[in-house]
Structure 1
Amino acid sequence: MAGVQEIEVVVAHRERTTVRVGDVFLKIDADPGHADVEVAAMAMAPVPTPEVLWRNPPVLALAALPGRALGRLGEPSTAPSTAWAAAGAAVRTLHDAPLPPWPGRSLDELAARLDGECGWLVANGVLPADLVTRNRRVAEAALRPWTPVFTHGDLQVAHVFVDGDEVTGVLDWSEASRGDALYDLATLTLGHEEHLGDVLAGYGADVDLDVIRGWWSWRSLVAIRWLAEHGFDPAAPGCEVDVLRARV
């Protein structure tokens, strides 16, 4: 990294900070368990991931990926439909892989989190009660039994890098686990519903669209408090609050 002229702060909040120094990303995490999961998941994943350069807890050093992010929440994606389809195919490859040895969140845990966050949103006047109630009904469609697959767990559109119509890598595996395949698909298309058809074409399987919509509402409802407390704006155009309004 000799000769590096500047350091870019990629993300920073109370739980984690990521900085870019030249072609190296340094992730500093308050919980070393996150890096344990990330390194193990990347070693198992049958899709491109960043190279682990070194690890000295609480710091994990990763090589930069080629290409660019598939998109950003709150911004139109300039990636072609073929890139979105390639992302869907990569997700299917992951979901067809052997399960990781550690479990994911249970259905009861997910339902309890939805209940707690909806109660907080209404009690604190963060969102209108009718908006929360309607989206909670939509979210309940996702809370049903599923066959576990190897899920990324936080497959935000910004975590998938592409070059043309090729996926060059997938970032941020600290929430990988056994989980619901449709949760990954919903997370990838959150705020980019116009590309759901492209993703599903690449994924190559029929899915229950009501469940996808349910996960869009679930993820948005449970994220708002965390985002606000960590310096992000869920009410920015195209972000979580707009996703909830689109459901009603």
Structure 2
Amino acid sequence: MSPQSGPRVAAVLFDKDGTLFDFTRTWSAWALRVMHQLAEGDARLIDAMARELRFDLGSGTFLKDSPVIAGTSLEAAECLAQGLGGRDATALERFLSEEAARAPLVEAVPLAPLLDSLRRSGLRLGVMTNDNEAVAHAHLRQVGVSDRFDFVAGFDSGHGAKPSPAPLLAFATALGLPPAQVVMVGDSTHDLQAGRAAGMRTVAVLTGPAGADDLRDLADVVLPDIGHLPGWLCAVEA
């Protein structure tokens, strides 16, 4: 189905990290700080955690195949637990959630005016992240946009995690919309695979670690960032 041939777009479901927030500028320095905290100065433990996370200590960035990019916070905790010699992953996830809720977020574009513009055009909005739901709400409150969304879900909200289409379909069901009227916007293959499996249109953005070549085959369009979404939606509805 080409974007121009589908039904009217009624709702947009966003991924969070790498989509609403620039992934590298938000999470790379944060991850390095967390690893140093957990290692308590032990360079060998930092190296081991970085290997498990697929984090390049030289450049201070996540590699494209890092399980953290599209994984759940529990999966990130499990990677750290391996690097720390088998520490309790559940306790580490609680620590990560507490630290993540205080992360210095970098918006991919100014979010409030963009979201207000989309809402004025009649669109319903949601967030589905493989982070946990409490952290997602904390981040949206931190940047003052929590009231713009009709639906916010994490991997622990009872709908599953991407790349399963189930949490995306939960959004459509909650709004009483057919999936074909929903656009899924994300920066990872997990986001786009979930969107395709749900029968939604898919929009890729390049504010995460993945490049256009990684995402193009799964997307109706690849955009530099979500600031270009209104223009694409206008073209689709024309």
Higher strand share: 1
Per the normalisation by structure 2, the TM-score is: 0.25
Higher helix share: 2
Per the normalisation by structure 1, the TM-score is: 0.24
